[in-house]
A and B are shown apart, each in its own frame.
Chain A
């Protein structure tokens, strides 16, 4: 066990924990935001730079601060480390810059986007973003590409977090899509036009922090805040069967995975549960799913 101080709060964590994890153990709400890191996906993180923190003291034997802001999802704790997160002006300023960079190519089409209301980038920009930008160039645009009947790809909205690539690698047998091209022209695609259809491909929708990958069967059906999220389970041979049903009356508009306090999907569900069992009698409803009080979805919703 090692002792680490984040924003003046001391906590003891196991050696080999990242700063982000330690901060989340103190309080998930004050922990640094993360767009690309996903605790259930091995190797994720280190790409988006939203989780930057200031390490003011590396350890008692090495009391110098780290020369630059460190990505907390990839920096491991050391005994006696001191970290500044929300207290440091420098960190907040850097976060503002990162949000601006993420939004450079992200279209402001939230009124159309199905992810609006549960979008990580929307929340991040709301909490940490500046109101204006100096950027004046055109946003990059991609022609619409079909990747099957179940998943809708909107490449314009992608922030290249690589989460969906890790899902395909670690959950499904055989990955058919990836990031093509380099630099400004990198994009998610299947290269040779192919439909992504294997049993766990639907989880790409859940891990996508923005509206780049959305549920095609839910496309434009309803805004997320008009449906009620209910925790439910069913017996499934392929997956855990624990899911969240988004109800409008007695109709299931869509099914998604369960999320933890920081909005990460904890239990991945199969495509049968997600797309093919949209009938209430096939599910055991447990009760209202937990939704953050700050979320717009919590309007008219009583969390358990």
Chain B
């Protein structure tokens, strides 16, 4: 019968030769390969004690930035959510009340902001769409989890704390340079 494609192979069921049947030569051959690898350079590193150098524009875990005074930059404009190809971002907006000027930079702010990390493909389009320089992808790696719920990151984990600022200056500089 004529094969449908030229990639198909005919399976042969031929009997083994004497060398193959002896078994030991094949074992020695395999052990030689294993032994050779003892003296080669290791390809793995001892993470997390050791880390590999990251590119300045590595797209890891997101951060919602605060401005220099400590107010949240995000105004819940929704451009990251509409730019997101995986539809991972959802948010609700609220109006800033008098007296909250120190907390939020503009009249409107995100009362909830959630990223579903299981949907996120870390493409960085949210960062590109953001008109307020509020969301950035960083060189941190998303921690693993055991429940689906633990992968939905809200504002409590996304917004940087005032005491622990996330450095995005390299990445920032890269973008500014490009412009």
Bits for A197-226, please: 1 = Cβ < 8 Å to B, else 0: 000000000000000000000011111011
Q: Is the CB of B82 within 8 A of A219?
A: no
B82 touching A299 by the CB < 8 A rule?
yes
Least Cβ–Cβ distance between A205 and chain B, in angstroms: 18
Q: Which residues of A contact B94 (CB under 8 A)?
A: 220
Which of A111, A221, A225, A296 touches B132 (beta carbons < 8 Å)? Answer: A111
Q: How far is the CA of A197 from the CA of B81 in the complex (A)?
A: 36
128-171 of chain A: CB within 8 A of chain B:
none
Which of the four size classes fits the interface of chain A? 10 to 19
Interface size on B, residues (CB 8 A): 15
Find out whether the CB atom of A112 lies under 8 angstroms from the CB atom of B75: yes
CB-defined contacts of B107 to chain A, threshold 8 Å: 112
Query: Looking at chain A's contact residues, is the secondary structure mostly helix, strand, loop, or mixed?
Result: loop
Does A112 lie within 8 Å of B108, measured CB to CB?
yes
Q: List B contacts of A111 (CB < 8 A).
A: 75, 77, 79, 106, 108, 131-132
- In the complex, whether B93 has a CB less than 8 A from a CB of chain A is yes
The reply to whether the CB of A116 lies closer than 8 angstroms to some CB of chain B is: yes
Residues of A within 8 A of B108 (CB): 111-112, 220
Expressed in whole angstroms, the Cα–Cα distance for A221 and B108 within the complex equals 11
Within the complex, the shortest CB–CB distance from B116 to chain A, in Å, comes to 16
Q: Name the one of A116, A219, A221, A299 contacting B77, with C-beta atoms under 8 angstroms.
A: A116
The reply to whether B77 and A225 form a contact with Cβ atoms under 8 Å apart is no
Contacts of A109 in B (CB 8 A): 106
Instruction: Find chain B residues with CB under 8 A from A225 CB.
Output: 78, 82
B residues adjacent to A (C-beta < 8 A): 75-79, 81-82, 93-95, 106-108, 131-132
